[in-house]
Structure 1
Amino acid sequence: MAKIKIPYSTTFVDAEIPDENLIAVLESKAHHFVPDVNEEQLVERALDNPIDSESLEELVKGKKNMVIITSDHTRPVPSKVTLPIVLRRIRKVNPNIDITILIATGFHRATTHQEMLNKFGEEIVNNEKLVNHVSWDKHDMKYVGILPSGGELWLNKLVMETELLISEGFIEPHFFAGFSGGRKSVLPGVAGKETVLANHCSEFIASPHARTGILNNNPIHKDMIFAAEQAKLAFILNVIIDADKKIIHAVAGDPQKAHEKGCEFVTELAVVEKKPADIVVTSNGGYPLDQNIYQTVKGMTAAEASCAEGGVIIILSACNDGHGGEAFYKYMAEASSPHEVTKKVLQIPRDKTLPDQWEFQILARILEKHTVFIVTDQCDKNMIESMHIKHSFTFDEALQKALEIKGEKASITVIPDGVSVIVK
């Protein structure tokens, strides 16, 4: 019996898989990558060697104010490590600069005070100016122009009115933007509701180029690059992390060039060869990405890429924060079937995109082809099942049900961390 550690909430589950059923374990090499220096030194080295850019110190000289975009509570950016270094280096050359830290919530809810403490630490929360971006508050937005896709570009006024804009984030495979990080801190990070909806339209989500690990010809990525350029994003610090959310690599400098270098590093570690199986077991990488069903769709896409038609996907995800989006929940729960969701969503014009549409579009696509079990003891069973997803309290229970569906000799592939791999 094989025993495989699967991330779940802030811990791990030891999943036992019969040897005769297990055909592959697909893992990112990032989880076994050992850097030559510690986390702080990796960040310092990246900032000492900016890619195609002046140094951060040169950029802040003579500036009266600046905005640092950082990620929200749903992203495991190790800001307790990165932000103190960035702030120290800025104030060393410009001690009087007015700094606003803008939390890129995108289309998510605001980050709570406690979540800020967890993410940034007391020193930053108590002494720095932190602001939650609220995408639906039009008073906080400024009209900037038209996206390549034709949608309106609205960005947070703080971003458009500051003298210097930089961002921090992390790079991992992303299920429709190709990769997270870089330009994504602007769109959707600090963009207005209308802009996020236009960028995440059903036409783009359905594009074969809007997939994990793909940037070339990705229409969503193209809009994001344009938005970052219009915002005059001047500098980024992006890190790559392992399964323990520890930094193993960092890039800094030009928002596009540095991001591309980071994506190359991730690609080298994250690409795994698919092993089609009757049952695929995965996770959403544990906390903070497995807080809700909305985010859990990301991990499902990795399993989808290696699951045989009509197969079963088992995903371990705490979902302790519930569904993660009212529109997302209602569109799934009120439909008679996933097929109905797909049929309706593909008829929605680009300029009429609904909130959370991209998420229920992808979930419906997966559910049309596969049976999906969410394993959690922290989320309402009835809510999960009302969304056409099956529920199990334990992994053993889910595996037994999956074997009943596909047969005792069913083949099983395990992807311990579904959001960390690019399945090809």
Structure 2
Amino acid sequence: MMKNFSLKYGKSEVSFALDGARSIQTLTENPMNTIEDIHAAFLKAVSTDVIESPALDQLVSPEDQITIVISDMTRFWMRQDIICEELVRYLNEVIGIPFEHIVILIGLGTHHKNTPADQKVLTGDYVYDHVAAVVDHDCDAPDLVDIGTTSYGTRVLINPLSIGRKVICIGGTVHHLMAGYGGGRKSIVPGIAGRETIRHNHAMALDPHCEQSDPRVGPGKFNNNPINEDMREAGALLHPVFGINIVVNSASRHSGLFCGDFDVAWRESCKYVQQCYGLPIKDQADVVFVSCGGFPKDLNFYQGSKSLFNAVRAVKPGGTLVMLAECSEGAGAKDFFDWLTPLREGHLDQSLREAFTIAGYIFYAACENIRKANILLLAGPKLDARIVNDMGIRKYDRMEDIMADVDIKGKDVYIIPYGGSVMPQTEADYTRFSTEI
């Protein structure tokens, strides 16, 4: 029986029909809460519902100097500005901490600096206009402070605004390509750490013995993940006084606030992410159709690559993955596609080990995942076909041409409408990921 489907593509939708498949299943995230009253939820989260910690008003006092670490624009989907305002108002109005004692430190890691307008967006107008300062972290600053070395040999250099002050971190938790989960300790490394600290930690994404990613590293992988464990050790060296962890639903509405002990509260947020976005599947499918979820999630190929990483997990080795990403701004992220040259010349692994970067590793991992399946990409004219062809992807301009090349007769098919949100997992992986946090 023929079934019709419609998936988001840029600011519009693309429709197609499937006929003759053995089975068709749509994969979506599990139902998630939406917090309707943020103010009330925040007050509960920092007072009566704190996790493995005293309430926030017992941890800081009016005499304390406070540094609030927030994320940069690449994490603005979690709308930390709303929570940041709640926190600053609480510190000032409830606890009595003067505004001049409060500094906002933006955890840029190695990302580019913000304009003042960007800073105001990240903090919100109220916070920007009232606190003593809003400061971008500089990973190359000469005054970074050495707070110790992890068991993995990572020398932890940290922004001086986190030393001798009470540190509160606001972060967003999601599945993460290398660290297992984002948020939490990532506010420290890479957020406010030195470049060499970040490089040493992230370089553990590569297998020390083979030309491949380290199999212990990947989304959902918690125990024995050297990147995660190293980050947690670095966070413990600094020991922030309080952690605020945000989880949002696929509509970017706040769904959970997990506050309290820096490590334990973050781990609770990881459990919620795995429960909501981790999707156990009995078997991988022969053919998978995935949309990034439309604009702005498919603004460029780099932005849409998360959908590729997630969807590949649902397709059988050597199967077919049809990906919809309009890429109205083309490829995106020059530092991602700069790695095409070593790929074409056959020394990608060697070059990445010599000069490791985050964008370079995401490119490396994308190439690894592309080799697992036959990838057909529907994208607009702004994306140069030669770029993705060299990575192993066939680009199409029309869905009709893709459907002419896809055989679904007697095949098992998955449809994933929001590829960036759902992380399909075999039942064995789902059980392991859920129990080891």
CA gap of 1:145–1:111, structure 2 versus 1, over 3 A, is same
- Residue 209 of structure 1 is matched in structure 2 by 216
- Residue 307 of structure 1 is matched in structure 2 by 315
1:43 partnered with 2:42: yes
Q: How does 1:395-410 map to 2 (within 5 A)?
A: 397=398, 399-407=399-407, 409=409
- Residues 42-91 of structure 1 deviation map (CA, whole Å, 9 limit, x = unaligned): 32321222111122222220444221111211111222321111111111
- Residue 227 of structure 1 is matched in structure 2 by 234
Deviation for aligned residue 1:377: 4.2
Name which of 146, 150, 161 aligns with 2:153.
Answer: 150
Q: Which range is displaced more, 321-330 or 221-230?
A: 321-330
Deviation for aligned residue 1:250: 1.2
Identity across matched positions, percent: 24
Question: 1:115 & 1:282 partners in 2: Cα distance?
Answer: 32
2:299–2:326: 8 Å Cα contact kept in structure 1?
A: yes
Q: How does 1:6-405 map to 2 (within 5 A)?
A: 6=8, 13=13, 15-18=15-18, 20-21=20-21, 23-29=24-30, 32-35=31-34, 38-48=37-47, 49-75=49-75, 76-92=77-93, 93-97=95-99, 98-128=101-131, 129-135=133-139, 137-139=140-142, 141-159=144-162, 161-201=163-203, 202-203=206-207, 206-274=213-281, 275-284=283-292, 290=298, 292-317=300-325, 323=331, 325-336=333-344, 340=346, 343-344=349-350, 348=353, 353-354=356-357, 356-377=359-380, 379-381=382-384, 384-385=387-388, 388=391, 390=393, 397=398, 399-405=399-405
1:278–1:406: 8 Å Cα contact kept in structure 2?
A: no
Q: Which range is displaced more, 296-305 or 125-134?
A: 125-134
CA gap of 1:317–1:67, structure 2 versus 1, over 3 A, is farther
Q: Which range is displaced more, 384-393 or 123-132?
A: 384-393
- Residue 3 of structure 1 is matched in structure 2 by 5
Q: Which runs of 5+ in 2 are unaligned?
A: 426-437
Question: 1:134 & 1:383 partners in 2: Cα distance?
Answer: 36
Which TM-score applies when normalising by structure 1? 0.84
Deviation for aligned residue 1:362: 0.4
Deviation for aligned residue 1:287: 6.5
1:72–1:104: 8 Å Cα contact kept in structure 2?
A: yes
1:342–1:364: 8 Å Cα contact kept in structure 2?
A: no
Deviation for aligned residue 1:310: 2.7
Q: Which range is displaced more, 114-123 or 188-197?
A: 114-123
Deviation for aligned residue 1:231: 2.0
Question: 1:115 & 1:316 partners in 2: Cα distance?
Answer: 30
CA gap of 1:381–1:303, structure 2 versus 1, over 3 A, is same
1:74–1:289: 8 Å Cα contact kept in structure 2?
A: no
Question: 2:123 & 2:378 partners in 1: Cα distance?
Answer: 30
Deviation for aligned residue 1:408: 5.4
1:67–1:166: 8 Å Cα contact kept in structure 2?
A: yes
1:328–1:356: 8 Å Cα contact kept in structure 2?
A: yes
1:283–1:417: 8 Å Cα contact kept in structure 2?
A: yes
- Residue 417 of structure 1 is matched in structure 2 by 418
Question: 1:134 & 1:393 partners in 2: Cα distance?
Answer: 41
One-letter code of the match for 1:51? I
Question: 1:55 & 1:172 partners in 2: Cα distance?
Answer: 25
- Residue 430 of structure 2 is matched in structure 1 by none
Question: 1:309 & 1:411 partners in 2: Cα distance?
Answer: 13
Structure 2 residue matching 1:256: 3-state secondary structure: helix
1:341–1:361: 8 Å Cα contact kept in structure 2?
A: no
2:173–2:245: 8 Å Cα contact kept in structure 1?
A: yes
Q: Which range is displaced more, 54-63 or 260-269?
A: 54-63
Question: 2:344 & 2:313 partners in 1: Cα distance?
Answer: 25
Structure 2 residue matching 1:243: 3-state secondary structure: coil
Question: 2:320 & 2:365 partners in 1: Cα distance?
Answer: 16
1:71–1:168: 8 Å Cα contact kept in structure 2?
A: yes
Question: 1:343 & 1:371 partners in 2: Cα distance?
Answer: 22
CA gap of 1:318–1:74, structure 2 versus 1, over 3 A, is farther
One-letter code of the match for 1:253? G
2:61–2:97: 8 Å Cα contact kept in structure 1?
A: no
CA gap of 1:318–1:224, structure 2 versus 1, over 3 A, is farther
Structure 1 residue matching 2:142: 3-state secondary structure: helix
Deviation for aligned residue 1:225: 0.3
One-letter code of the match for 1:59? L
Deviation for aligned residue 1:282: 2.8
1:384–1:391: 8 Å Cα contact kept in structure 2?
A: no
Question: 2:117 & 2:396 partners in 1: Cα distance?
Answer: 28
